[in-house]
Every structure is written in C-alpha cells, then in structure tokens.
A and B are shown apart, each in its own frame.
Chain A
Amino acid sequence: MIPLSHYLIVSATMFVIGSVGVLSRRNAIIVFLSIELMLNSVNLTLMSFSSFLGDVTGQMLAFFVMTVAAAEAAVGLAIIIALFRRKQTVNLDEINIMKW
C-alpha cells in the first residue's frame, strides 16, 4: 500500500511547480494555467486525506473546488479577453496602469 506521505509529496511538488509558473511566467494565459495546476494539486491533497481518513468531506471540497475553478475560468478568461481588446497584449508586465 502506498503511504499517505507519497501522495502529499506529489501534490506539494505540483503545487510548487505551479507557483514557480505564476511567479516567473509573464504570459497571462500560462499564469492562469499554473493557477489551475495549483488548484489541482490542492485537490489531490484533499482527495488523499479523504481516502485515508475514510471521510467524504475531502471529496466534497474537491468537488466544490472544481465548480469554483469552472466559474473562475469563465470570468478570468473573460477578463483576459477584455484586457486583450484594450491593450492588444497578454504580457503581464505591460498591464501596469494600476501599479504605482
């Protein structure tokens, strides 16, 4: 049987890869994809705890995370489309009007 810690390590590794993507990439779409990666790694943690503890709450949370991710993707991509219409770019360094 695979121990719980192995699942947690996979999920932690994916989370950190996602956070590196968010921190280092400047393409808004890829930053968004990295955020999805981080959400999924958290889902893996929830699922492994749910399975190992025999409690369905973790799976429910993962289910709601997916629902929220769908809503987030719809609105987030709409924001990217609106930004692209205005500035003709998805480079996050060029979207800096609200930076001081």
Chain B
Amino acid sequence: MIESYIPIFIMIVGAMGFAVVMGKMNEFVGPKRPSEEKLSTYESGMEPVRSARERFSVKFYMVAMLFIVFDIEVVFLYPWAVSYKLLGTPGFITMFVFIAVLLVGYFYVWRKGALEWD
C-alpha cells in the first residue's frame, strides 16, 4: 500500500536534492571576486530607485482569480474524462451543461474587459 509510493518519494527527494546541490555547488565551486559595482542591484545599468516591494496592480488579482475558477473546472473535467466510457451520453450532457454555465461567466469576464491587460 504505502510502499507503492516509494518511487514517487524517491523522485521528489531526487528532484529537490538536485536543485539544492546545484544551487549550493555554484556557491562553493564558482570563483568569487565581489566588488561594489557587482554587488549593486542590476537594473539594466540604471541606478536602482525605490523599494522592490512595490504595490502590485489589481490586474494580477484578476488573472489569479480567473485562473482559480478555470482550474476548478479542469479538476472536474479530469475524473469525467477518466470515467467517460462508463458514463456515456448522460455524462456528456452533464459536462455540457456545466461548461455552458461557466461559459456565461467567461463571456461576462470578456465583456467587462477583465481579460485586457491595460
């Protein structure tokens, strides 16, 4: 039972280990000759101004919110797709209604201009 997850566990440990080892190895192996110019924040040659913690625009919230809603939709599509043969035509109609209702929301978003970036 739980033993069957061991390959996944090994993969997770391997992936994380690889990332950490590569990041750390760079620190130890690479030559380091710091100077004031090198340590300053790189901003395409400009002098860095203001704090990096600037307020994000509400546009990012819009995108993340739409992402959540359509992420949920995909999460529902996945078990539907897996057991599609079992469900047959009623299952197809079910999902059709579901997507049709969500499309109303999608068109609302579109008309309100929440998909436009500026």
Contact = CB atoms under 8 A, between A and B. Distances in A.
Chain A partners chain B: yes
Interface of B is mostly: helix
A67 B65 contact: no
B69 A74 contact: yes
Interface string B27-68: 000000000000000000000000000000010010001001
Interface of A: 67, 70-71, 73-74, 77-78, 81
Contacts, number: 16
How would you classify the secondary structure of chain A's contact residues: helix, strand, loop or mixed?
A: helix
16 contacts: A67-B72, A70-B68, A70-B69, A70-B71, A70-B72, A71-B69, A73-B68, A74-B65, A74-B68, A74-B69, A77-B61, A77-B65, A78-B61, A78-B65, A81-B58, A81-B61
B49 to A, nearest CB: 24
A50 to B, nearest CB: 16
Interface of B: 58, 61, 65, 68-69, 71-72
Nearest to A74: B65
A74 B109 CA distance: 14
A64 to B, nearest CB: 11
